[in-house]
Structures are given as C-alpha cells and as structure tokens.
Structure 1
C-alpha cells in the first residue's frame, strides 16, 4: 500500500513538535522555580548610603583646599584673639576661648572612612570604640592656635558632645597632640543634654569669651539645633556679622546639624529614606536643551 505523503509529513511534524513543546514547558517551570528560590534583591542598606561619604571624606583627608581652610580659620582666630587682648583693661575677667573638639580641632575622618563599604551606621558603640582608641589627629593650625592662646594667658574650654564616659580617652588623645588646658575643669563633655548652651553659659559666668570655634553652628548658638533647613539658614542671615568675628567655622561635609535638618530631626529614617531626603534637597539643572528648543 502506498503511503500518503501529506499524512507522513504531518506525522513527522507532530512528533518533532511534542519534544520541543515539552522542553519549553520544562524550561518555563524551572525558570519559575528558580525565580522563586532566588533571594530578593537586597534593599538599600547602610553600605549603599555610606558610599556617599567617599567624596567628602577623601576631600577632608587629602585636599590641600581643606588644609588651607583650616589654616585660614585659625589664622583669623589668632587675629581676633589679638584684638580681644588689645582691648582689655584692668579689672576684666579672665579671657577664654571655647572650642568644640570633633572636626573643630581634631580630625575623626578615619571613623567616617571605616563606615564606607560596611552595612554600619553611626552608633554609640562604634563611636565609643573610636574614642577609646584615641587616634584622632589635630586639624591643621589647631595646636599652634591653642598653644598661642595659652602663651597669652587665655584659657581654652573644650565644650564637646562626646559622652562624659569618654573623658579619660579624650584627654589622653588631646594630650598626645600637645593641646593645652586638658584637665577636668576645662573639658566639658555631654552629660544629660546635647544642648551646649548651659556649658557655654557656665564659662561665660566666670570668663570673658573672645571666640567660639566649631564645625557645627550649634557650637555657637542653640538656635541652630532646629530641625528645619529654612530655620537654620534664616539664623545664619541674622548672625552674619558674627562669622569670622566671634564665630570661627571649620568645614565639615560628612555629618552635622545640616544633615539632621534634612531628615526633620529624625535620624531613625531608613537608609533609603535618608538617601531620598538628601536627593530631594538638591537643586538640579534642567540639562542641555536640544537644538531648536
């Protein structure tokens, strides 16, 4: 009996198609299983957020510009201190300067650099471990200025928000750097409040304060502890005559009240929320215009 060519071709097509469809079905099924078994893509964590520290930390650690700004700050501080000394008359109270510690006279950028690449954030435990190591270095010009103040009979008070539990380690660190007036009377660490105003007022009750030196504007006035960017900026306008006169500011792009204000004072935001707040604060160029637009 002769075979029907059409029926033969249909039979062959049908039998070739079955394995192909079967393989496709198995592949889809395996693909579905694989996608279910694969871990979800990682959420935006502290390691991702800490990448934003790279440029600021590298600038503070390596740039000549940062060193120049630090020397500039302490040169101005010495000039203003000389003016205050020249204006003194018999019977005046002892003269003093008030300085913050971290990023105002000592450099903690190795701590910031340690955070980079780690799913870590600032915490009391991490920070206290750094404090106990007593490895902070003097900012350029800081030791020379503080020693000059001592040589002119001007007392130095260190008003810092390092916790009081770190007093001994902080004094060890400052003494290693040959900073003057490093004793329990002149070291004023945080106890029950981070507001520095009561400590500043305690110094002002017994001394004439010529200068305040800090990297965070709350080192000068508690009004800068505000949680709103606009409030802090408005107070800068109000205090503009003090900068370079009574207030000496050191640059710190790695942390501070400026960052807290971006979060409306809420440091408990997730890393992703912090990233979003930072980006939302940017003023962005619209970009190049296409020809004819």
Structure 2
C-alpha cells in the first residue's frame, strides 16, 4: 500500500504506463488496424487468435480498480484496522465510497487525449452491477468519465455470471474494434490466465513468453498492483526456482 498509494515510484510507474498507453492508441487511431487486441473465442495460451475489426468504431477497454481509480478510502480503512479482505465490507465500499477515490496518476490526461482522437473509452470491472450508479459516480468524480452502465461501463453479471471478463469483452467487441486494453491483473486481458489449475510458474511463463510477451506495451498495458489479486499468490517453490537459490556462506551470522 505504501508503494502503490504513497510513493513517488508508484506514481512514476503509473504515469509511464498511461503515457505509453496514450501514445500507442493515438498511433493506432491514425492507422486503422485490421484486428482487435481482444482474443477470439476458442483461443488458448498456446494458440491465441484475435478478433477482426471490420468497420466497427474504435475503442479502448480498461479495468477500474487500481487501473483507472485508486481506492484510497477502502485501503485506508483496511490498513488502519489491519483487516483482511471481506466481500461484505467491499460491497459497502462500492455503495458508499465514491468520494474517497483518486484517479491513477496519468489517467486523466491520457483518457482525455484518447477521447479527443475519437476513440471510445470503455470500463470493464468486477464491481457489482447493483452498484452501477455508485461506480459511475466514482469514475466520473475522479475526472475519468463519462461512464454509462452497459454502454461504456460493464460490470459483474452484466453478461453471464461471476467474475469472468471475457464475455463482456466479447460483447464490447461486437460493437467496437478494441485497439488497446489496460489493467492491473492478467485477467483484465484474458480469462485464460486465470484458468483453474494453471500453475503459478506456468502463468508467469505464458505472460512473459511469445506470443504474449510482444503485446505488453503494444496493445496490452499493465499497471503495477502489489496490493491484492492473483499477482501476489504463490508458494516459496513457485516463486524461487530451485536451480537459482543462494545461501549466504556465513549463514545467519553478521
């Protein structure tokens, strides 16, 4: 939390990501692409395919929490009271916390420039559809709107059930050619990365190897989030390869 919400380094990383996002989108808007950056149905991590654009208008798709807005009020309460995540408390936050957020550094200027270029900005969040008005108010109050439910704001259970975002991306893609996406978790780009049973080391390899490695900064833009989510899971053996471990020859002695 100190890094993401309080540090200059966290702000710099966000500004850097949004500057690259804006520059990429403006370039692509001038040279209309043939394919979207949304994976087509039937894609796998080994064999991704991308949806054709046709003549659909251009759009970008962003996650909301810790991608577009910072949930400062919620994280303050969690840190102050040393609480762990609780779904009921998060639901109360969605309903009542719209005025206790800030935009991610760099986001306001980037989204304004993208809209001026004629590209529609669409938010795809796992916040609850029942709280659509409050979520739209949080986005707009942070200077990132407009956000209109089921038009430029898609929420959990709007299409299908649960937290899977691919059905919502597919719905957006029926109306738009998506030329860039931004998020803070791999699931903001494809649910394939969150497949049940996918080992943590394999998930990392998939994200950092071809064909996906070439998408980072080139259609897919990742915001840093060391606070929550699948990115901070993993056992000791998942994180540290057995053939790359070192032990201090002096042991625990100074």
> What is the TM-score with the length of structure 1 in the denominator?
0.69
SS of match in other structure, 1:116: helix
Match in the other structure for 2:172: 203
CA change 1:75–1:129 in 2 (3 A) is: same
Counterpart contact for 1:215–1:250, Cα < 8 Å: yes
What CA distance in whole angstroms lies between the structure 1 residues aligned with 2:114 and 2:28? 11
Correspondence for 2:230: 257
State the SS of the aligned residue for 1:70: helix
Unaligned runs of 5+ in 1: 1-56, 263-276
Answer whether contact 2:124 2:168 (CA < 8 A) is retained.
Answer: yes
1:129 is aligned, of 77, 85, 92, to: 92
Q: List aligned pairs for 1:70-219, cutoff 5 A.
A: 70-88=14-32, 92-116=55-79, 118=81, 120-132=83-95, 133-134=97-98, 135-184=100-149, 185-191=151-157, 192-219=161-188
Greater share of strand residues, 1 or 2? 2
Q: CA deviation at 1:92?
A: 3.1
Residues 122 and 157 of structure 1, relative CA distance in 2, 3 Å threshold: same
My pick for the range that moved more, 95-104 or 174-183, is 174-183
Change (3 A) 1:281 1:235: closer
Pick 1 or 2: higher relative contact order, CA cutoff 8 A, min separation 6: 2
Superposition CA RMSD, Å: 2.0
Give the number of equivalent residue pairs.
Answer: 217
User: Tell me, what secondary structure is at the counterpart of 1:96?
Assistant: strand
Runs of 5+ unmatched residues, structure 2: 34-53
Q: Is the 8 A contact 1:157 1:181 kept in 2?
A: no
Cα distance, 1:254 vs structure 2: 0.7
Q: How has the CA–CA distance of structure 1 residues 282 and 228 changed in structure 2, closer, same or farther, with 3 Å as cutoff?
A: closer
Q: Measured at CA, do residues 76 and 176 of structure 1 come closer, stay the same or move farther in structure 2, by a change above 3 Å? A: same
| Larger helix percent | 1
Give the deviation of 1:280 after TM superposition.
5.6
Alpha-carbon distance in structure 2 between the residues aligned to 1:66 and 1:139:
10
Q: Are positions 1:243 and 2:209 aligned together?
A: no
Partner of 2:247: 286
From the superposition, tell whether residues 234 and 199 of structure 1 become closer, same or farther in structure 2 (CA, over 3 Å).
Answer: same
Deviation at 1:181, TM superposition (A): 3.1
CA distance in 2, matches of 1:180, 1:139: 13
- Using the alignment, how far apart are the partners of 1:152 and 1:282 within structure 2? 42
